[in-house]
Amino acid sequence: MTFLKEFTLEAKGTKLVLQENVLAVLSEEPLSTVSSAFYNGGGIKKTRGILNIEVPKNYGDGNLHADPDVLVADSSKKIGVQNGFISMVTAACVRNFALASKRVDGIGVSVIATAADDAGNTCNFAEASGEEMNTHDIGGTINIIVLIDGNPTESCLVGNIITATEAKTAAMLELDIRSRYTGDVATGTITDAIVVAETGRGEPIVYGGPASPLGQLVGYCTKKAVKEAIAKGKECSPHRSLLSRLDARHLSIRQLAFELSKAKSLNVDKQELAALFSQLIREDAVFASAVLAAVKLNEEFEKGLLPPQFSDLKSVGRDFGALLSKQNCTRPLQTITDADADAVGLPPFLKFALLELAKNALARREN
């Protein structure tokens, strides 16, 4: 059968194929698998086909939820697979997949990940496990296929689900992907799925944790593939704007300007302040750096991670803001009053940094 695209994997006798809305690992010999795939997943299964099926944009949630097997059956026919396969489904664009492979000391690993749809919306559906969530909108799935050319035991095979999941979360941390619900660091999306498969070749492998030889391969390839897959979405680019990253933290410029406008000494309305801050964040790297530093210190404060010398937060926050202002101002500015500080409903580092930066920017604009 001729496929739209075909890619080489580390395991001999296997290949990755792309045909319309189907991305699949096909094998000449049965693979042993363990997975969270909704179709034929769960437990240790033997299969020659692992499918990742993209839900067509016009298919509709009603059709999908009413009978998902119809989509799976119709899609599997496109690659000539009809029985005994495992399948995941995704709203992500399977053409935007990422593949990472590596072989060390006779053990080969290939990891295939999908994450971004055509609009790059993975960031918009991220979550942090353990928080309260509203599940009415479930796009943005991150699906992972791990193929091991080796012979891990069943417990080792299961253990590599943990290793790969940790690597996925590490990828999201490195890209600063945030939960849509709280703005906290994200660990995944609510519909993620994974398949770990092995060829059974070679000596038995007992350990698959992150520090084991196999686990290091799985972790490396998974993190690399997930980062590349997520970054293919325009909204999740590593170089996305600071304004976008603030929004993801639930710290919109409009919200910040609203709070700062309560400081009477600034004598500026919220619309004017929001426009000024937006301009400076886009055009002034020093200003943007100061804001980002304050935001990161604020996160440490909210998580209770600040060391003991930060116990007097109001005093430290005030000095921090004054330091930022001193580095970027040519003349003395009016001291922030307690009344202004108390009126602004923001955490200490962010509050004093933004108050000082706002005074500085307004003073420079007047000169």
Q: Which residues contact 110 (CB under 8 A, 6 or more apart)?
A: 9, 10, 11, 14, 16, 99, 100, 101, 146, 147, 149, 221
If asked whether residues 131 and 211 sit together in one domain, one would say yes
Q: Cα–Cα distance between 72 and 55 in angstroms, integer?
A: 9
pLDDT digits (tens, 9 = 90+) for 1-46: 778 899 999 999 999 999 999 999 999 999 999 999 989 998 899 9
Enumerate the β-bridge partners of residue 147. Answer: 110, 197
* Number of domains within the chain: 2
The pLDDT confidence band at residue 333, using thresholds 50, 70 and 90, is very low
Name the domain boundary from 236, 269, 288.
236
Query: What element of type H or E holds 299?
Result: helix 285-302
Contact 199, 150 (CB under 8 A): yes
pLDDT of residue 334: 56
Q: Cα–Cα distance between 333 and 289 in angstroms, integer?
A: 21
If asked whether residues 310 and 268 sit together in one domain, one would say yes
If asked whether residues 165 and 271 sit together in one domain, one would say no
If asked whether residues 255 and 290 sit together in one domain, one would say yes
Query: How many helices (H) and strands (E) would you count in the chain?
Result: 11, 13
- CATH number of residue 79's parent domain: 3.60.70
If asked whether residues 150 and 289 sit together in one domain, one would say no
Q: Cα–Cα distance between 109 and 87 in angstroms, integer?
A: 20
Give the pair of three-digit tokens for residue 354: 């933004």
Q: Is 29 helix (H, G, I), strand (E, B) or coil?
A: strand
pLDDT digits (tens, 9 = 90+) for 161-202: 999 999 999 999 999 999 999 999 999 998 899 999 999 999
If asked whether residues 276 and 347 sit together in one domain, one would say yes
Contact 156, 32 (CB under 8 A): no
**What single letter denotes the amino acid at residue 86?**
I
Residue 198: phi and psi, rounded to 5, are: -145, 150
77 is in which domain, residue-wise?
A: 5-236
If asked whether residues 198 and 346 sit together in one domain, one would say no
Name the domain boundary from 236, 268, 296.
236
Enumerate the β-bridge partners of residue 109. Answer: 102, 148
pLDDT digits (tens, 9 = 90+) for 60-74: 555 566 678 888 999
If asked whether residues 25 and 85 sit together in one domain, one would say yes
Name the domain boundary from 236, 269, 286.
236
> Quick one: which of 92, 88, 81 has its CA closest to 41?
88
If asked whether residues 25 and 123 sit together in one domain, one would say yes
